[in-house]
Every structure is written in structure tokens, then in C-alpha cells.
Structure 1
Amino acid sequence: MFLRRRRLIATTGLAAASLGLPRIAIGQADQRPSITIAVQQIANSASLEPLREQSNVGQRVFSFLYEPLIMQNLLGKLEAVPGVAESWKRLDERTVEFTLRKGVKFHNGDEMTADDVVFTFSRERMFGPDYDITSNKTLFTSVLIRDSVQGKALPPEVPAVSKRLFPALEKVEAIDKYTVRFTNRTPDVTLEGRLGRMGSDIVSRRAFEEAKTWMDWSRAPVATGPYKVREFVPDQSLMMDAHDDYWGGRPPLKSVRMVVVPEVATRINGLLAGQFDFICDVPPDQIPGIEKNAKFEVLGSTIVNHRLTVFDKNHPRLADPRIRQAFTHAIDRQAIVEALWSGRTRVPAGLQWEFYGPMFVDNWTVPAYDQAKAKQLLKEAGYKGEPIPYRLLNNYYTNQAATAQVLVEMWRQVGLNVPIEMKENWQQIFETNSPRAVRDWSNSAGFNDPISSIVAQHGPQGQQQQVGEWTNEEMNKLSAALEVETDMAKRKAMFARMLVICEREDPAYTVLHQNATFTAKRKDIRWKASPSFAMEFRTVNFATN
């Protein structure tokens, strides 16, 4: 019934347009609702640029604003579907060609063409002019990477992320106005996946070039998504309006306001009081209380993201892998799932997901909960109870503080002395003014291959190695080999060995549990949650009773 009504509305709108009615008359009849969504954070970097804001919270926001050539089906199982490209084909092991949709409009009214796609992946936007593509290195080092073409300064995180996402992209060519060809320097079976993940979103060349500074651009980006930025106040709010020229149909909402409400209790109280229509990141133990009120419901599920504890092996005590191994064996992960998540998530098979398909390593498990083994490892390593600090934020992740308290107690039971250091932001998490040791993190799979997770985050270009926490020579060689290997059996064997290195022999991290995300909303709103941090508010996923 809802879909039939939407089609009728769309047909009526087309008829009105064909009759030449003034646009203002149509605008005055706009009865679409506006909604407010309370979130714990909008962006960690005070920007809305995916090449800077590679985060869980950013993924949620960007589903409103941006689109890549290939999208994920947010109402399905995140399978690949056409985005702003209507089709694509493999030309060889190094080359993929895309046919663009005609008539796709940017938020500024310009039509998207191959020129915009080429610019999106250009050296000027992703790396800066001082980046040498052949050597995969930045030749000029400073606080900001120069962009002499536009007189803009790229934050150093932008080329770092770009290098991680596209370590061997050779060229992007416009074959004609609606055809673009991507060529890699090396064979890459994951090129389509890379071009569909966050950070590959297509942007307007004209809008980027007209922005006075990179920061101006990043706070009011112009892309092709169903909503566009009206106003962004970092750490406070984001106001978005419907992009009525959206190629996928007129958006169902007139506007969307996101507000930052860090405290869970305040988000819940605001929902119940009618201040918010949706609230994100609801802890499982709060779900029954919300649903006691017949006007509200909570939707959600596990997502392709795992919560991790990450190690800095430069710490004097963590240099010995046996102590890191002891950390991993001291954790009763199932107890965390049952006590803090009410059984609504699970302990996964290490840093992998079943949607990897043929690359999923069967019979792999996280390190066993074994207190005796943990104690023996500490004894063999000569650990004498020296403090090993644990850095975390206050509930950036759902149940973060509660999980940390449980972990510290589990580690204490085997003899580990782990004091909590609560930090205010990610910059403080990574700062080196005092010894780093253990920290909280998570890892998402941007597409259905280990390249998107274990290599992207823990490989030689991954953030853990970029910030100097951990490195392993064999892991780095395997990462480079996995990126160019095309034989799937060989690739799977490489990935299996990576899991052994990173989770058992020389732990870079340990997986705690699969993440899950829960969103509470008014019950009179018909809306479906995605198995992702992203939120879907296109034409077919919003209605009111």
C-alpha cells in the first residue's frame, strides 16, 4: 500500500510539472515531515569529508549525503547494487569500466559527468601535488600537505586514508561524458569493492574548486545523495534538506536534523518527551524500558563491525607477545555478550564475517577463555604487576565504559594491572606524551574481502601501523601479496596466516564481540533499520501511519 501511494504521489508530481504549474505552487503543497535524530556524535574530525572522517559515526551521516559508483543495499544484506553508475564491467585483472547514470544531479544543480568522477579520484583531491604515485610516498612533509593547484591545504589524514583505500590506483580516465575507466598498477580482484566503500563517494568538481579552503568544502560538501547540507555546527548539530532533484526519486523527508546528545539517558528522555523522532546507539539493557511505552519501538541487529582491544607493542611490557597473548586469554567474551548485550550479539570467528564468502576461514576462533593459560604466559614473561594503561572514550561505542570495567576486572583476575585512562577525544587516545599500551577500537568490513578490514586497518597502510603502535614483517609481506593475488585459494591461505599472526602469535588486537546497533523511534513511523551504521531514508523507507 505504501509503495502504491508513493508511486501515485510521484505520478501526480510529474503530471503537475507537465502542466507547467509554478514551482512555488508545488512547494507550498509540500507536506513532507521533518525529523530530528539524536546521536552520540556526528563527526570526530569536525568535517563531513569521507577521506578525513573514516568513522562509524561518519558512516551514518554520509548515507544521507554521498553516493559511490557502486552502493550497498542497506535494506538487504549489504550486497552490491548500482549507485551513480548504472553498470560496470571488468576489462581485465587491472581494469574496470563504468557507465554512469544520465541526469544525476549534484546538490548544486550541476549534472554529474565523467569529469567529476575523474576529479573525485584525482591526485589533487586525494593526495595533493607532492604525492608521488609511482613510489606511493608523499615527497613533501609538513603539518598540511600543499595543494598548489587550488591553493588549498589537505589535512595529512586525507592522503593517508587515500593511500590506504587505493594503494595502487594508476589512472582514472573519462572515455566519454558518461563512461569512466579505472586502471590499477597491479591485478586487483577487490577493485569494485574499493570503489563501493566509504571514501569513494563522488563529489562535484566545481563545488570543490569554488570552496575557499579545504575546511570550507568539508563542512558543506556537494555530492549526489538524497539530502544536502544546510548547516553544520561541529559537535552540536547538522541540518540537512531534501535534494529534490535526486535521481532516485523525491526524498520522503523535507529536512533532517541531527543533534549531538552524548548521554544515553538524555537521548532516551528526549525521545519519550517527543523532542527526538529517532535516537541512535541504544544499549540493549535500555530496550525493554523504552518499549514499555506503546508509542515507541527499538530496531537493530548485528552489523559488519567488530569491537576490538588494540595493543601498542612499543610499551615495555607489551613488547613481549606472551603478555599480549595473556590479555586475549583472560577475556570471557561470552559473559560480556550475555551480561552487557542481553545476548543480542555474538562472539565471532575472529576478524572476519560470513559475507566474505569463499574467503571466510572456517574453524577459526577467537583465543579461548583460559585463565590458567593467561597466568602461565605472564609467569613465563616475567611480568611483576607493572601498570599497563588502558585508554578509552566515555561510551563512544555502545556499552564502552561498562565493557572496560568488566575487562579490567577479568585482567585483574589473572594478575594484569590495567588502570583505565579516560580520554576526551581520539586525538588524546593516540597522543604519545605518555606511554600508550591498550585502547578501544572497532573494525568494519567496507566490502566482502579481508582487504577491507584486516589489511585496511592493521596492514602496512592501516591506521594501527601509521600511528606506530604495531608492525610485523610477515604480515606486511602478506598484505602486499594479498592485494595483487587473483587465485582465491592462495588468497584464502594468506588471510588464514594473517589471522594467526595478528590474533595469536604477535597480537595486534583481540576481537571482543561483533558489534550491534539499535535505533529507537516513534512507532507510528514505518522505517527499516540497516545491518550497518548507515541509515536509509530514501524514497521507499519512510512513512507515517
Structure 2
Amino acid sequence: MLIHRRNFLIGTGVAAGSLALPRFAIAQGDQRPSITIAVQQISNSASLEPLREQSNVGERTFSFLYEGLIMRNLQGQMEQVPGLATSWKRINERTVELTLRPGVKFHNGDEMTADDVAFTFSRERMFGPDYDITSNKTLFANVMVRDSVQGKALPPEVMAVAKRSWPALEKVEAVDKYTVRFVNRTPDVTMEGRIARYGSEIISRRGYEEAKTWIDWARAPVTTGPYKVRSFSPDQELILDAHEDYWGGRPPLKSVRLVVVPEIASRVNGLFSGQFDFICDMPPDQIPGIEKNAKFEVQGGLIANHRLTVFDKHHPQLVDPRIRQAVTHAIDRQAIVDSLWAGRTRVPAGLQWEFYGPMFVEGWTVPEFNLQKAKDLVKAAGYKGDPIPFRVLNNYYTNQVSTAQILVEMWRQAGLNVQIEMKENWQQIFENNGQRAIRDWSNSAPFTDPISSIVNQHGPNGQQQQTKEWENDEMNRLSVAMETETDMPKRKAMFKRMLEICEREDPAYTVLHQNATFTGKRKDIQWKSAPAFAMDFRGHNFRIA
């Protein structure tokens, strides 16, 4: 429900003339402000480890803490820029050499060296002690795997993400104190992108080794970012302090508090009352109400993330691909964009982004909205009206519940009996109990190649196949071939064929719309949002007018 300022003031008993600006907390002896940011969640996994928390909310949280050798320009168009490495070069098709930035300090005061970088990508931290480099195989089980070197138990999800991100990494070697080489087992044109991707951030070797358990590490990681962990209460709050020795200059904030506020109305009310300085994940219908007050504004827009509807092809009602095809053709995506997003997002060209450059498949579209075609497919498949479960979270994604309600009505018009099942968490969403059929998801592109998206999430090592929702032999062969192919026209042809399989012939998912994120804030705070979930609070991007 749209919250109007007048109604808010009446409901709280505050006179309009007495509404004060939200006040920053000023730490004694330090004139820098401390801010509070209201988010709908900090981390889904109750950890602060990117290899365990591959999520939209995690990307936002970790932007305060973690940095990579190659970084994304959060104040530009997310292009690659020097980060903890000042430069990099290709040695050959399998090798990239990077020069480290000297003098970078971890949160524990240690200087970052090539040894820390090599350890970050080691079996001990990423792949597990049983990882076989030559065969690229790991013993995966639904139990914690014992790390014999550090005495820590690595969650299987960590190893799965590592293998997905680096399917053919042979080694990362320290050439000297400030030089490292990434060596792949096979040719890979995407190595620079993998180095820059979410999950390849650098950690302190000593910080990791001194942690008693993996979860102790994961809730207080020692990294290089502008802010460091003071305390973390999962599902409640995360308090960060400035990293005073940050290589990028003194952070502009003394501390940052991220607090979990699931309800949109509570986030908006808290902004107006001064309880919060920033509020995240604002639906477009809230923007006019916030901006009617001259003291506040909303920033944000399109990001490199698409909202998807995903299929479990093994559910009895979805085994026939014609039913999944009917689901895709029954969706009027533009109506969702217009009605729920006020035209602030768009229907993209399938699971791809224009920044793929020469790999972008021109002329490709999402399945057309054609209700009659959907009805014909339903009839041809012999569907008898049996229920099809649709698993949904309570607005983890912006407009998630309202989107689900619209989708169910669209599918009903095509003759599909889809029924919403509200779930509390992602574990319940993925639970394979024989009732998994359709679910919500999103898909990001952390670097400018289809490998980062369609292969990363829907290929043989992707989460959809790892959770046994969907598989396709041709898609898997193409995924493996594309990861080693260096001829760009051949790679583009492979990608186009992947789109045909995953979005048309044997649907694994269907794209709904490109995602967008909006942040409410005080208008007198000079701060620029990034074209991503990540939030940038370094020295150049925060000032009070």
C-alpha cells in the first residue's frame, strides 16, 4: 500500500511542521557520521562468505567488506578497473599475470601479498582437500567436508560455487611478493572476468587460519574493504566500522549499521522518522510517496540481473516440455512491467545483456505472449488440470508476491492450474520433496560473457542442475565446449543454441523482466547509487550538502 506522508504523520501523532530531518549518529571524538541502512535481508545463509552467499542481498552486503584484484566501476557502467591489482596481462590462452597494489592492508593490519592471493584460491579455502585438479572432480556430499589442513569444515555449497566459478583452475602461484599468475588447465577467454567476478575477492590467509571454525571466519571475515565487521547477528543486524588503513583513503563514515526490516511500510516509515538514513529495495509504487517530501529522494534503476520463473522438469505436470512452453507463452511480460514497475524496467532479449558486446545474440526475444498458442500447447499435451505448485518467498524480490499473483491469473487463462505456495526461506524453495514444480529466481551476469550467466546457473555445474531440477545433454556438451573455445563466432553460435534449448525447446526457465533496484535516502546526502545491488560508501561517494 502506498504510504502518504500525511497519513504517516496522522498515524504517528506527529505534526507536519515538526517533522525533523533524520539525524546521523556522530561518534564521540570523530566528526564522521554513522548511518543506518534498512534492508529486507543481510544474508540468506547467516554468513558473510561470498562463496556461501551467492545472492542479491549478499552482493549489497559484501560491497562494504570485500574487494577483488580486478573490480567493477560502481560509479560508471560496471566496467573492469584496477582494484587490488594495479595491472594485468595475458601470458597465453591459459595464463593471466597480475601486479598487486603495494601497501594494501587487511582489517587485521597485515599487508596483502601474493601469498594471500594464492591462499584465497586454494583447495583449503575454496575447493576442499579432496579436489582433484587434473579431473576437476570433488567428492560432494550433503555433509560438511573436513579440511585436513586447517581443521575447518567446508560447507558443500562453498565447493560447489568454487567449482562453478572456476571449473578449470589449475593453480594460482606467487611469482614474487607483488606478482601472481592464474593458470588454467584449459584455454579460457573469460579468465579476467572470473578474476573480477563476485566470489573471487581476496581474503587474509592469517585471518582465515586463526579462525577456530569455518562459521567463525564466515561471520567475521578479514578482508581489505573500506569497512570491517564489529558484530553480526544473523537475520537482525550487521555493524561495520571504518577500516582506517584502507588503501583507497579514509572511509567517510565512522560506522555503518545494516538492519533487517522485512516490511516495506516499516522501511518507509523509518526513513521519514529518522530511524533509517537509507532504505533499500523500494517498489516503484512507493517512489512518488517518498519524493513528495522535499527532504527525501529515491535513486536507482536497471541492473545486470533478470527476474526468472524456473522449472523443475521432473514434476509430473512439467515433464512434457509443451506445458513449460505454454507457461512461457501465457505471460504478458509488458503488462507486468507497466502495472507493477511503472515502466521503470523492461522486457529484455532473453537471458543476455547488451554489454556482452560481440557475444550478444541480436534479434533474440523472450517467448511471445500468445494466449491461444499457450492453450493449444496445453491441449496437445493432454493436461487434465492437476495442480502445479509455484513456490514463492514473501517479497524477497521487489514486487514478488504481486508478480506471482498476476502470473497465476495469466496461467489460469491458458488452462493451467498453478497454485502459489508461500515459503519462508530458500531451503524450502529448493527442497526436493516431489512437489517442486515452478519457483521464482533471478540471474545476474557478473562479467561480460554468457559463461557468467547461462552456463554459471543453468549449465552442468549450475545451481539448477546441481539441485536436480533440470538437465539437458546438449546444453551440457555446449557448456563444456564453450568454456574452452577461443573462436568468438563459434562461441556465439554455441550461446545462441543454448538460448534455443533453455528458453524454447526444453525450457529450464523463462525471463520475466530485467531487474531494477531503488534506494530511498535523505536528499541532502550526496551519494550515487550503482547500477547493481552493491552499495558504494567510499570517500568519493558520500558527502552531506
TM-score range, shorter-chain basis?
Answer: over 0.9
Contact preservation (8 Å) 2:140, 2:156: no
Contact 2:118 2:174 in 1 (8 A): yes
**Counterpart-to-counterpart distance in 1, 2:44 and 2:387:** 29
| TM-score after normalising by structure 2 | 0.94
The alignment of Structure 1 onto Structure 2 pairs a total of residues equal to: 519
Deviations 1:184-229 (A, max 9, x none): 0000000000010111000000010000000000000000000000
Separation (CA, whole Å) in 2 of partners of 1:44 and 1:140: 22
Counterpart CA distance in 2 for 1:321 and 1:139 is 32
Match of 1:6 in 2: none
Q: How does 1:26-41 map to 2 (within 5 A)?
A: 30-41=30-41
Take 1:63 and 1:190, find their aligned partners in 2: how far apart are those partners? 22
* 1:432 CA drift (Å): 1.8
SS of the residue corresponding to residue 410 of structure 1 reads: helix
Aligned partners of 2:28 and 2:397: how far apart in 1? Answer: 42
Percent identity between the two aligned chains: 79
Report Cα offsets for 1:221-270 as digits up to 9, x if no partner: 00000000000000000000000100010011110000000000000000
Retained in 2: the 8 A contact 1:132–1:139?
no
2-side partners of 1:94 and 1:434: how far apart?
43
Cα distance in structure 2, aligned partners of 1:373 and 1:478: 29
Q: Given the superposition, is the C-alpha separation of residues 106 and 316 from structure 1 closer, same or farther in structure 2, using an over 3 Å criterion? A: same
Using the alignment, how far apart are the partners of 2:543 and 2:271 within structure 1?
A: 18
SS at structure 1 position matched to 2:172: strand
* Alignment match, 1:118: 118
Corresponding residue SS for 2:510: strand
Runs (5+) with no aligned partner, structure 1 = 1-26
* 2:373 corresponds to: 373
CA contact (8 A) 1:130 1:140 kept: no
Tell me, what secondary structure is at the counterpart of 2:290? helix
What does 1:32-181 correspond to in 2, within 5 Å?
32-139=32-139, 141=141, 143-181=143-181
Q: Which one-letter code corresponds to 1:470 in the other structure?
A: W
Matched ranges for 1:80-479 at <5 A:
80-139=80-139, 141=141, 143-479=143-479
Give 1:128 deviation, angstroms: 1.3
Instruction: Measure the CA separation in 2 of the matches of 1:28 and 1:259.
Output: 22
> Structure 2: which 5+ residue stretches go unaligned?
1-26
Segment of structure 1 superposing worse, 434-443 or 132-141: 132-141
Q: Distance in 1 between matches of 2:433 and 2:28?
A: 58
The one-letter code of the counterpart of 1:111 is: E
Q: For 2:105, what is the secondary structure of its paired residue? A: coil
Query: What residue is the counterpart of 2:12 in the other structure?
Result: none
- Partner of 1:138, secondary structure, is coil
What is the identity, as a one-letter code, of the residue corresponding to 1:448?
T
Distance 1:540 1:33 in 2: 15
Distance 1:271 1:408 in 2: 34
Quick one: distance in 1 between partners of 2:136 and 2:310?
27
User: Which has the higher mean CA deviation after the structures are superposed, 53-62 or 142-151?
Assistant: 142-151
Is 1:174–1:181's contact at 8 Å kept on the other side of the alignment?
Answer: yes
CA contact (8 A) 1:306 1:351 kept: yes
Structure 2 distance, partners of 1:198, 1:335, is 33
Give the whole-Å Cα distance in 2 for the aligned partners of 1:502 and 1:531. 27
CA distance in 1, matches of 2:362, 2:432: 38
SS at match of 1:540: helix
**How far apart, in 1, do the equivalents of 2:420 and 2:245 lie?**
50
Residues 65 and 223 of structure 2 are in contact (CA less than 8 Å); yes or no, is this contact kept in structure 1?
A: yes
Tell me, yes or no, if the aligned pair for 1:131 and 1:140 is still in contact at 8 Å.
no
Cα-to-partner distance string for 1:482-525 (whole Å, 9 max, x where unaligned): 10011111111110110000000000000000000000001110
CA distance in structure 2 between the partners assigned to 1:225 and 1:274 by the alignment: 27
**1:23 aligns to what?**
none
Letter in 2 for 1:192: E
Write the letter of the residue equivalent to 1:423: K
Quick one: distance in 1 between partners of 2:292 and 2:315? Answer: 48
* Aligned-partner SS, 2:187: coil
Distance 1:326 1:249, change over 3 A: same
SS where residue 137 of structure 1 aligns? coil
Q: Would you say the 8 A contact 2:96–2:181 is kept in 1?
A: yes
Change (3 A) 1:212 1:146: same
The alignment's TM-score, normalised by the length of structure 1, stands at: 0.94
8 Å CA contact retained: 2:228, 2:243: yes
Q: Matched residue of 1:135: which SS?
A: coil
Does the 8 A contact of 2:71 with 2:82 survive in 1? yes
The CA deviation at 1:142 is 5.2
**C-alpha contact (below 8 Å) 1:387/1:417 kept by paired residues:** yes
Distance in 2, Cα, partners of 1:400 & 1:295? 29
Query: What is the deviation of 1:297?
Result: 0.2
Shift of 1:434: 4.1
What SS class does the counterpart of residue 64 from structure 1 fall into?
coil
Report the secondary structure of 2:519's partner residue: strand
**Is the contact made by 2:315 and 2:434 (CA closer than 8 Å) also made in structure 1?**
no
Deviations 1:405-460 (A, max 9, x none): 00000000010000100000000001123410000000000100000000000000
Matched residue SS, 2:401: helix
The 3-state SS of whatever aligns with 1:99 is strand
Matches of 1:521 and 1:114 in 2, distance apart? Answer: 40
State how far apart, in whole Å, the 2-side matches of 1:469 and 1:479 are. Answer: 17
- Aligned mates of 2:170, 2:285 — CA distance in 1: 49
CA distance in 2, matches of 1:28, 1:240: 16
Deviation at 1:139, TM superposition (A): 3.2
Match of 1:522 in 2: 522
Partner amino acid, structure 1, of 2:240: M
The offset of 1:140, in angstroms, is: 6.4
* CA apart distance, 1:28: 7.0
- Paired with 2:499 and 2:119, the residues of 1 have a C-alpha distance of 37
How many angstroms apart in 2 are the aligned matches of 1:127 and 1:66? 19
Counterpart for residue 536 of structure 1: 536
- Partner amino acid, structure 2, of 1:415: G
C-alpha distance after superposition, 1:54-80 (max 9, x if no partner): 000000011100001000000100000
Q: Which amino acid aligns with 2:319?
A: A
Find the aligned partners of 2:277 and 2:434 in 1 and give their Cα distance: 42
2:499 corresponds to which residue?
A: 499
The answer for the alignment partner of 1:510 in structure 2 is: 510
Paired residue type of 1:254: K
Conserved? CA contact 1:332–1:369, under 8 Å: yes
Q: Give the Å deviation of 1:29.
A: 5.2
Per the TM alignment, residue 132 of structure 1 is displaced from its structure 2 partner at its CA by 1.6
How far does residue 141 in structure 1 lie from its aligned partner after superposition? 3.5
In the TM superposition, residue 87 of structure 1 has moved relative to its aligned partner by 0.5
Letter in 2 for 1:436: R
Report the Cα offset of residue 380 of structure 1.
0.6
Distance in 2 between residues matched to 1:92 and 1:187, nearest whole Å: 8
Please identify, of 357-366 and 132-141, the stretch whose mean Cα deviation from structure 2 is larger.
132-141
Deviations 1:80-112 (A, max 9, x none): 000100000000000000000000000000000
RMSD across aligned positions (CA): 0.9
* Contact 2:39/2:258, CA 8 A, preserved across alignment: yes
